[in-house]
Amino acid sequence: MRKYFEFDKLGTNYRREIIAGITTFLAMSYILAVNPFILSGADLPPELKANYPEFNAVFTATALAAAFGTLLMAFLARLPIAQAPGMGLNAFFTYTVVLTMQIPWQQALAGVFLSCLIFLILSLTGIREAIVNAIPQSLKYAVSAGIGLFIAFIGLKNAGIIVADDATFVALGHLTFFQDNLTPEQVVAAKNALLAVFGLILTAVLMTRKVPAAIFVGMVATAVIGMFFGLVAVPDRIFDLPPSMAPTFGAAFEYLFDPSTLFTVHMLIVVLTFLFVDFFDATGTLIGVANQAGLLKDGKLPRPGRAFSSDAMAGMAGAVMGTSTTTAYIESAAGVAAGGRSGFASVVTGLLFLLALFFSPLLAVVTSAVTAPALIIVGVLMASHIAKIAWDELEEAFPAFLTILMMPMTYSIATGLAAGFIVYPVLKVLKGKAREVHPAMYVLFLVFLAYFIWLRE
């Protein structure tokens, strides 16, 4: 096992990889609750819920898809990157495809399967790898930094430290609960925000003192303190049998072999949108996390064909099980920051997703206040790549800056990539350096323009 995962070459060991795998699982375990909530239409009126898959079935599909995708990435690509149904794509599935377009959820799963099949073909033929290798180094650094700001923003938002504001879009949340004019909900939000602040300070102190597994220790300590003050629920039981996946398993096949439903304008838009967003979200995540782990070689991802194929096959398997697109997770950076360098960390994460099927009550302790400090700290670490961008060359700096800025500002990795990839070739051409731009970048320029004009909802 040590030899297969190249522990000696990567300077790692079982202890470090196990801690990293646990840290990644804790950072992304929220998907086990959030994904079923979204895909089942739990927040929609009762009369609409019949149009969505069953909550419990989606929970099992989510856990199994995450386990399968993560273990696939572990053994095939040997990377410390976990996979699970992607946020954003699940919302598109529920609120755009099913609710707005009125496409049956079974047919939507067929669209997910087809998009991932195209994804796999692009990966196996080397087209996806060629596209990634054509990306200039400055944009690769920008992707890492942008993802860092993005996940830090997610952490701040989930903890309630940053909240929505009608006048300024975002504002500082309530960090005190002694004011008389606060509602009970605001008092609870303030206490959770303060718990996250405690966890953030504790984790930062542990990191500065170079305590091993500082991020993991910080999350555990935050959860314990949260339970002590009644902010984190103490599980009433530990074990529970996993719900049946029968209502969703194989539902996509009902439409996969029906040309009359597949070859329509609406389904074309659905498939292309799933493909487009997953392609660039997953690519950005793989590059960003691998870069953070120091695994890039000459700016290239190790075993890229296997990594991309793992991502595509995980998406296909997830669609068969009954969930929206399964993809690489940016929360994997939390495990990398905890010391993960090999695929063995993903083995641990994948196995924990399997165990989560039987110990789902324990997930009650993994709240947003517990995971937020880890995301914010990881964001700080990933943002360090900003220093590697050639800021004295505006044709390199400006596209990189747009990429970094637009990811958190639009809440989308793909949109940040699009901004940078559109502007980069334009500036190079206008400066008379058109030959320095890889031909694939011009193709991507046109693809991103088409996406913004015709496909983006």
**Domain contains 2:** no
Helix 368-383 crosses helix 265-292 at what angle (to 10 degrees)? Answer: 70
Question: Mean of the pLDDT values across residues 344-373?
Answer: 87
DSSP 41-107: TTTS-GGGGGGS--HHHHHHHHHHHHHHHHHHIIIII--S--EEEPTTHHHIIIIIIITTS---HHH
342: phi then psi, degrees, rounded to nearest 5: -125, 175
Say which DSSP state 169 is in: E
Percent of the chain with pLDDT over 70: 98
Per-residue pLDDT, 321: 97
Lowest-pLDDT choice from 58-62, 233-237, 261-265: 261-265
Question: Mean of the pLDDT values across residues 7-26?
Answer: 92
**Domain contains 89:** yes
Question: Mean of the pLDDT values across residues 447-456?
Answer: 74
Bridge partners (DSSP) listed for residue 109? none
Mean of per-residue pLDDT scores for the chain:
88
Bridge partners (DSSP) listed for residue 165? 169
Token representation of residue 324: 């929206």
Per-residue pLDDT, 456: 57
Distance CA 278, CA 283 (A): 8
| Tally of CB atoms within 10 A around 212 | 12
> End-to-end distance of the chain based on CA atoms, in angstroms?
46
**Domain contains 1:** no
Lowest-pLDDT choice from 24-38, 82-96, 270-284, 351-365: 270-284
Residue 176 burial by Cβ neighbours in a 10 Å radius (0-12, 13-18, 19+): exposed
User: By the 8 A CB rule, do 398 and 423 touch?
Assistant: yes
Look at residues 278, 241, 7 and name the one whose alpha carbon lies nearest to residue 117.
278
**Domain contains 281:** yes
Q: Would you say the C-alpha torsion 270, 273, 276, 280 has a positive or negative sign? A: negative
Q: Token match 């790692």: residue?
A: 12
**Domain contains 160:** yes
Regarding predicted confidence, which is higher, 63 or 372? 63
- The residues, any chain, with a CB within 8 Å of residue 5's CB and separated by 6 or more, are 17, 78, 342, 343, 344
Distance CA 321, CA 67 (A): 12
Distance CA 84, CA 30 (A): 11
Distance CA 65, CA 46 (A): 27
Per-residue pLDDT, 447: 81
**Domain contains 34:** yes
Alpha-carbon Rg for the chain, nearest whole angstrom, is 21
Token representation of residue 112: 């997910």
Examine the pLDDT at 316 and tell me if it is beyond 90.
yes
Look at residues 442, 398, 115, 425 and name the one whose alpha carbon lies nearest to residue 281.
115
What's the pLDDT tens digit per position in 134-181? 888 898 888 888 888 988 898 898 889 999 888 999 999 888 877 667
Domain of residue 378: give its range.
7-455
Max Cα distance, the chain (Å): 67
Per-residue pLDDT, 317: 97
Lowest-pLDDT choice from 67-71, 222-226, 276-280: 276-280
3-state SS, residue 212: coil
Per-residue pLDDT, 129: 74
Helix 265-292 crosses helix 137-159 at what angle (to 10 degrees)? Answer: 100
**How many structural domains compose the chain?**
1
C-alpha separations of 223 from 7, 206, 339, 378 in Å: 31, 16, 21, 18
